[in-house]
Amino acid sequence: MIWDFTPTQVMKGEVNYNLNDFYRDLGKQVKTNYGKYLSGDKFKNCCNLFWLFCHYQAIMLSEEEIAQNLVGFEPPMSKELITMTCELCQEDGKMLGAIYQNLFLKYFSQALKESWGDEEKATSRTLALVNLYINRHVKQWLA
């Protein structure tokens, strides 16, 4: 995808770009690149697969870890296909990672106040909140 802003600007909150915006733009990109070949469920599955690879890039999984996560995926993905898809999603994964970081920063300040300055407790609470937020969006998209 192409943006007129950087992942750093998103992470710092200088630009308002969120998970819904990212998924919308990802859908547009998939439609542009593959729309004439895919429709209906195949199109949605393709969007979800690319989102999954962007997510794996955002959380910095290695190709080996990605391959382990995709065990049982039908049809199976070859190592070459995993490598190629990781390369395709690398820059998009950086943007998604910036969205995740922005969410973390947004919730961490609140959690730190509520935890009376206990950084470990605040970090744990923040990660739980961010994961909940992300999971809600993912369930919405996959429905």
User: 18, 10 in Cβ contact below 8 A?
Assistant: no
SS3 76: coil
Count of CB atoms situated within 10 Å of the CB of 108 = 19
Q: Which two tokens stand for residue 48?
A: 């979800």
pLDDT digit string, tens, across residues 81-134: 999 999 999 999 999 999 999 988 887 777 777 777 777 877 787 778 887 878
pLDDT digit string, tens, across residues 74-84: 888 899 999 99
Give residue 110's pLDDT. Answer: 73
User: 105, 13 in Cβ contact below 8 A?
Assistant: yes
Say yes or no to pLDDT of 6 above 90: yes
Q: Which of 51-55, 109-113, 135-139 has the highest mean pLDDT?
A: 51-55
Confidence of residue 143 (pLDDT cuts 50, 70, 90): low
Question: Which pTM does this prediction carry?
Answer: 0.82
Q: Which long-range contacts (CB under 8 A, 24 or more apart) does 90-93 make?
A: 90/57, 91/1, 92/1, 92/26, 92/50, 92/54, 92/57, 93/53, 93/54, 93/55, 93/56, 93/57, 93/58
Name the residue among 3, 23, 7 with its Cα closest to residue 141.
23
Say yes or no to pLDDT of 142 above 80: no
HSE-CB at 87 with a 13 A cutoff on CA atoms is 6
Find the mean pLDDT for residues 138-143: 70
